[in-house]
Amino acid sequence: MNQKRFSTIHSIIVVVIIIAAVGYFSFMRETAKPLLIGNNAIYVSSVKPATNIKVGFAVLAAGGYVIIHEDSKGSPGAIIGSSDRLSPGENRGFDIALSRESVDGETLHAMLHSDNGDGVFNAIDDPPIKDSQGNIILMKFQISNRAEEPEAISL
């Protein structure tokens, strides 16, 4: 009886570990996909804590900016970094300086913003870029001491 109980408990533990592993890798695969919506796209992988963020790529139909926001209860919060003006088309592997060092375990948001034509980012005059249904184009990413150097991404 004790051996049967041990075997059952052992089997349950193995099943729980398998389910957790599948869930973890499914989550990582989902969060690591680049976001391509129409002629606009953004991709930032998980990165180590630092005073800058490495953007994998951004595609902008009409040019603009990538803006880094803090997380505020799952939504974009305060702005803590902005790219230089990016030209229309594909922009790869550029850094964005942050106003503070990022912290292990935090979530940040990379958001695409348009340019009003003056070439200088201003949160009031350069609004977020939206998809055809009015959703803001952004990507959440994680800050982690365990983050690895991102692989090359292709669309």
The 10s digit of each residue's pLDDT in 49-89 is 999 999 999 999 999 999 999 999 999 999 999 999 999 99
pTM, to two decimals: 0.74
The pLDDT assigned to 3 comes to 56
Binned at pLDDT 50, 70 and 90, residue 150 comes out as low
Q: Please state which of the ranges 85-94, 111-120, 125-134, 146-155 shows the lowest mean pLDDT.
A: 146-155
The 10s digit of each residue's pLDDT in 1-19 is 555 555 666 556 544 455 5
- DSSP one-letter code for 151: P
